[in-house]
Amino acid sequence: MKLHDVFAQAKAENRATLIGYMPAGFPTKDGSQRLIAAMIEGGVDIVEVGFPYSDPVMDGPVIQQAAEIALRNNTSARDVLDVVASSTVPTLVMSYWNPIERYGSAKFAGDLSQAKGVGVITPDLTVEESEDWISATDEQNVGRVYVVAPSSSDTRLKSVAAACSGFVYAASLMGVTGARTSISGAASELVTRVRRVTDLPVAVGLGVSNAEQAAEVAMYADGVIVGSAFIKLVLEAESFEASIVAVRSLAQQLSAGVRRS
């Protein structure tokens, strides 16, 4: 199943798609696979597998801590691809550009396709520097997802959306990732602006941490992205087995949330 099929199915069910993020290699390679399985069991429709990077400038402290643990575990590109391959729902990689460029953009797109990956989110890659990446992903039928923010001009939104081929990632606010007590009011306006320039699904990330927030975002977005809230549960759990239970439970609550609206 491809990305557009998942969004279409959710739309037919009159709900938003639930997208969950987990870094590969956190807290171990096998552990990340088990956590992703728990997220899926709880109701996550699409998975984002994080490619750990040493300078995650757009990530908040929770995801940074998870990335540091994954890097200490010597998580490699091959490990990232193995985690993608282990997922039973459509799965993307979320990666800064440097690790992909180092691996080889065409090789990464090809190997991701072999691993049944359906797309890549590249938060720090600009459209202007994407010529080779667009060519590589088109050749492998791998979806491209770029990030837009409330500060993006209408002209910028149009050019970024035109370069996307999976969905458009709308950052709900300016700043780094992290669970928050409330969702920025700018998110709804941003989704409206993006919809004026593209027919692609629009998913909102940065800040969603509970069922109420998921329901709120699901009222206007096609997808609800949750990352830090899952990772925080793992970091704070008394044991890894307890974190599996907690992650599955949160996924169930969020899944109910995206259906509530």
In this structure, which long-range contacts are made by residues 69-77, counting pairs with CB atoms below 8 Å and at least 24 apart in sequence? 69/25, 69/26, 69/27, 70/23, 70/24, 70/25, 70/26, 70/32, 71/25, 73/25, 73/26, 73/27, 73/28, 73/29, 74/25, 75/23, 75/24, 75/25, 75/26, 75/29, 77/51, 77/103, 77/108, 77/111
Dihedrals phi, psi of 161, to nearest 5 degrees: -60, -35
- For residue 121, the 8-state DSSP code is E
The one catalytic residue in 59, 79, 82, 222 is 59
- Cβ-in-10-Å burial (0-12, 13-18, 19+) of 106 comes to middle
The yes-or-no answer on residue 59 being catalytic is: yes
Dihedrals phi, psi of 38, to nearest 5 degrees: -65, -40
The one catalytic residue in 48, 82, 111, 222 is 48
| Cα–Cα distance measured from residue 137 to residue 231, given in angstroms and rounded to the nearest whole number | 29
Question: Is the backbone peptide bond immediately before 27 cis, with ω within 30 degrees of 0?
Answer: yes
DSSP line for 69-117: HHHHTT--HHHHHHHHHH-SS-EEEE--HHHHHHH-HHHHHHHHHHTT-
Q: Catalytic site residues?
A: 48, 59
